[in-house]
Chain A
Amino acid sequence: MLNFDIVLAGTVNGLAAGAIYVLVAVGLTLIYGVLHIINFAHGSLLMLAMYAVFFLFTRARIDPYLALPLVVAGSFALGYVLYRFLIGRFAHGKDENILLITLGLSIILDNLALFFFTGDTQTIDVPHASGIVEIGPAFLPKAKVIAFFAALGLCAALGAYIGRSDMGKAIRAVARERQGARLVGIDVEHVFAVSYGIGIACLGAAACLLMPSFYVSPSSGHAFVLIAFTTVVLGGMGSFLGALLGGFVIGITESLGGLFLGEQLGQIGISLIFILILLLRPTGLFGGGR
């Protein structure tokens, strides 16, 4: 039967997965907090970044961890351009409209991936990241341990950037009071695009950390999008700290759900949390209102 050690092992496993969800969710919550738009293409853009990591490894033999700066920079550029030329033009009307536009974008990306990369799942085998690490009662793939620490490190770096740098200051100013920010001479459209770019850059980093221990297929985006939204809603839309906590809660829920309810039914926990939070406490655990 289940004993304490197995539950503990499941928890550790969930924490490791949760760190990646934090990284994905931080990007989503930043975009929401600054732009007040819900980026439904978030999962699909993650899928795209994962394919980028996959092809950099298989075609150019670039190690996924060394590819991180490259993929992050590429993701940032893609996000910036997407915002400037597509999303930003329509971002400030009804909120369903931007949801529908990003849905359209995700349909386009998912099916382009299906067309060019086929529906097969792809994995990469990174020798120096394979192997098992023993942590208490849990046995974790080395790649997941690396991902855990790297994800937290990147979140801390991002937090410091938003907190300390001039651009970070501008982002916070725009998030709080965009009209006022405009009046003191901040280029608001540029800040919006940078924020969206940073949000997508988080996905690029997540993709590099995920690929050594995960797989990618054109439907990967869909698998992640509900997880990302649940994480963000749980912590409170727009809350940085909330995304951090939400990510770990979701990771553990998923891991323990699988343990107690089995592979199939275990996935239900995430959707149920999502529904319950929206119905009972839509501002999330840390959100200050919508």
Chain B
Amino acid sequence: MNARRIVAVFGAALVAAFALPFVLPSNYAVNVAAMILFTAFLGQSWNIAGGFAGQTSFGHVVFFGTGAYASTILQVAWGWNPWLGWIAAALAGGVVGLAIGALAFRAGLRGSYFALVTLAFAEVFRILANSAEFTRGGLGILIPSDPRAANLQFKDPVWFYWIALALLALSLAVAAWLKRSRFGAQLAAIRENEDAARALGIDVFRAKTICLGISGAMAAAGGTFYAQKYLYVDPSIAYGVEKSVEMLLVSMIGGAGTVFGPLVGAAVLGGVGEITRSFAAGQGLSLVVYGAILVAIVAWLPDGLIGVFARRGGARRGRDA
């Protein structure tokens, strides 16, 4: 596909997605759709580091939670407007990403070791949020309800749908840029063979650190969205391991390192979630299915579900999907 056709298809899909809430039967359905788009966005933030650069993270909530807390505290304790707080939150997430990246990559942590250290960072942040004064510890922080657009609060769930759609579109643009840009090519080289990339003259440390910064800023923006939607944040929501796993799952299942992988993954997980919910109450079963899908994907479909379609479209295109 040439660039113009991609833009046309993408634009048409965006318009269709924008109009989707008008044909959905209920607010519940709009909510489910909004959460699928939002999960796809979070998955994309993971994918920027975990997929494109191959830096598998087990603790991406460290950014998500930082964003959720940053905007909430600025808003509740400092009286900031949440829109402004949102930008500050993304910046905070970016800084945390750069800091963790600088520390971990300077120490030469790769592969599983990088994954485990991110898990430990998330745990440190969770414990700190649980005991610090300004996060109100385990009580969490309640955002006073005042549904006005200026407050980034809405009565009608459709607005969160549209915001999630905008976030997702933005993240897809970032991913598409990574696919085509020089920086993205550097990340791909690092993912495939870090030593070879270094031998080619790529500043591996710098590229990986910046990449984690971008990824962190995106996840933090997601944290603010979540806090504004539920008007509440506490340590286990913000820094719980479940969200880290969810981000990793949608990206891995859809196809890590692809532009549309996280969206495919989020749609599949959302669908599985709705189906298992109709069979049995509780979250347990759907996560069992997710875990099984993850094992199967890693074992047999390293390019994710999207790889299956890409392979049909001709092996030549492979990861271009």
Chain A residues with CB below 8 A from B123, complex form: 226, 271
B120 interface neighbour in A38, A114, A265, A275, Cβ under 8 Å: A275
What is the number of contacts between chain A and chain B, taking CB atoms within 8 Å? 120
B131-A262 in contact (CB<8A) = yes
Q: How far is the CA of A97 from the CA of B295 in the complex (A)?
A: 9
A265-B131 in contact (CB<8A) = yes
At the interface with chain A, which of B15-23, B154-162, B281-289? B281-289
B103-A115 in contact (CB<8A) = no
**B291 touches A (CB below 8 Å):** yes
Using a CB-CB cutoff of 8 Å, which residues 111-125 of chain B contact chain A?
Answer: 111-113, 115-117, 119-121, 123-124
Q: How far is the CA of A267 from the CA of B138 in the complex (A)?
A: 14
A115-B288 in contact (CB<8A) = yes
**A112 touches B (CB below 8 Å):** yes
Using a CB-CB cutoff of 8 Å, which residues 210-242 of chain A contact chain B?
Answer: 222, 226, 229-230, 233
Using a CB-CB cutoff of 8 Å, which residues 89-127 of chain A contact chain B?
Answer: 89-90, 94-97, 99-101, 103-108, 110-112, 114-115
Contact flag A278-B58 (CB < 8 Å), given A115-B285, A226-B119 = no
Using a CB-CB cutoff of 8 Å, which residues 106-156 of chain A contact chain B?
Answer: 106-108, 110-112, 114-115
> Number of B interface residues, CB 8 Å?
44
Q: How far is the CA of A108 from the CA of B290 in the complex (A)?
A: 8
Q: Mark A244-282, 1 if CB is under 8 A from B, else 0.
A: 000000000000000000101101100110110011101
Contact flag A94-B111 (CB < 8 Å), given A89-B299, A107-B290, A278-B117 = yes
Contact flag A101-B299 (CB < 8 Å), given A108-B291, A267-B127 = yes
B287 interface neighbour in A86, A107, A271, Cβ under 8 Å: A107
- Interface of chain A: mostly helix, strand, loop or mixed: helix
**B185 touches A (CB below 8 Å):** no
Chain B residues with CB below 8 A from A226, complex form: 119-120, 123
Contact flag A279-B104 (CB < 8 Å), given A90-B298, A264-B131 = yes
State the Cβ distance, A209 to closest chain B Cβ, in Å. Answer: 25
A86-B117 in contact (CB<8A) = no
Contact flag A96-B295 (CB < 8 Å), given A115-B280, A278-B117 = no
**B252 touches A (CB below 8 Å):** yes
A268-B128 in contact (CB<8A) = yes
A contact residues vs B (CB 8 Å cutoff)? 38, 86, 89-90, 94-97, 99-101, 103-108, 110-112, 114-115, 222, 226, 229-230, 233, 262, 264-265, 267-268, 271-272, 274-275, 278-280, 282
B contact residues vs A (CB 8 Å cutoff)? 54, 56, 58, 103-104, 107-109, 111-113, 115-117, 119-121, 123-124, 127-128, 130-131, 137-138, 241, 245, 248, 252, 280, 282-285, 287-288, 290-292, 294-295, 298-299, 302
Given contacts A95-B111, A95-B112, A114-B287, 17 further A-B contacts (CB under 8 A): A38-B116, A89-B299, A90-B298, A96-B111, A104-B295, A104-B298, A105-B295, A107-B245, A111-B291, A114-B282, A114-B283, A268-B124, A271-B120, A271-B121, A274-B120, A275-B117, A278-B109
